[in-house]
Structure 1
């Protein structure tokens, strides 16, 4: 389960900012910026990479974290995870109106931060893929295969009409290899070495695996190239 590449922290306590930065640095997540008020955050989001926001509810200035989040979501499609020391009913009710991707109470541990961020980011990726929403990052990690199929590089999951396709481990790995090389032929040797690693198997074993995928997904455009290999053809990338 992956973490976002770039996170923005909105937090008015310098010590907490640094603590969060230290936690994220340990897992190689880039902190694009740290801000303690709404105006600086909104201005910065115009120019920096951001895949997720860690938002404290109580920040400096007349606009709090919840109000700021509402403003951001008017123009950005971003997952926001809230951090707060307040868990009273009124605050929670206001938060729930935003359908947040995550909520972290203070004080928190490194494990709480990382687990919450991983779950939140996975939910966000699934939601955006299912709803067809474009990510705000500069480069999409989704491969559109045709009208019905798409492949998520982040989650290593094939989707049909927005729903994850259930496959066994070998089938999933085969689709991953073909999707990463969409519209290009992947040779038998490469597929066999990647799928079975140190095991020596015959070409017929690979053909049987491909047959099982075609039987499961008859409209997935896997093309056979005689005596060479296989390719997955995307009508969206031609």
Structure 2
């Protein structure tokens, strides 16, 4: 259990210290803290996150809900929200994330500990699921983020890894350009030319990958039936 990587996205010192100390007391030692969205996504691009605590209202172009969506796309990360808000609009937006629960500030210590224990169980269940995805002559390893074609490893840049992970964990469905922008570039706006050039290079590198692109919809990876 000590090997679980936990990310706390929170800018209130008292809150993230309390969560960190509670995690350590329960046996979780690998803890990183981000005080804004950009730092959180930078950490997630380098480290597989097994459990995420995120305040909904954080600094950055995107909020804690969008950060959580990105991590769930990349790693199927269990999420616990921290919030001082319980208005209907916030809860409706949060419902787009498969979160375990939320801590309403000020929260009780027993609530925090209960959610951590549930999250650990959820992580173990997710870990037991298949970590390798096969598609035609391609094999993608979700744990190592490696792609193989006909048993030969494909060299991928960091951004290419993010896109390939996004595609292989959402086979037979389109990924919106908005999601693509936030997951690969960590920005809400990326020029069409930048995105088009990037996708073109992927198609040149992986010509046998059945990519489909729909204008105004997004990009997807599909089985060849």
> Normalised by the size of structure 2, how large is the TM-score?
0.53
Q: Distance in 1 between matches of 2:3 and 2:79?
A: 12
Residues 83, 104 of structure 2: 8 Å contact kept: yes
The match for 1:42 is: 41
- Equivalent-residue separation in structure 1 for 2:56 and 2:110 (angstroms): 21
What TM-score does the superposition give when structure 1 sets the normalisation length? Answer: 0.50
Report the Cα offset of residue 57 of structure 1: 0.4
Rounded Cα–Cα distance in structure 2 between residues aligned with 1:29 and 1:55: 17
- The number of aligned residues is 136
Segments of structure 2 that go 5 or more residues without pairing to the other structure are 133-140, 145-225
Q: Which runs of 5+ in 1 are unaligned?
A: 139-238
What are the residue-to-residue correspondences of 1:72-151 with 2, within 5 Å? 72-127=71-126, 129=128, 132-133=130-131
Q: Would the alpha carbon gap of residues 111 and 31 (structure 1) be closer, same or farther in structure 2, given more than 3 Å must change?
A: farther
How many angstroms does 1:82 deviate by?
Answer: 0.9
Distance 1:9 1:94 in 2: 20
Larger radius of gyration: 1
Residues in 2 aligned to 1:106 and 1:56: alpha-carbon distance in whole angstroms: 10
What is the RMSD computed on CA atoms of the aligned residues?
2.6
Distance 1:53 1:101 in 2: 10
Check the 8 A contact 2:7/2:53 in 1, yes or no: yes
Deviation at 1:34, TM superposition (A): 0.5
Deviation at 1:137, TM superposition (A): 6.3
Q: 1:137 to 1:84 in 2, by over 3 A?
A: farther
Shift of 1:6: 2.8
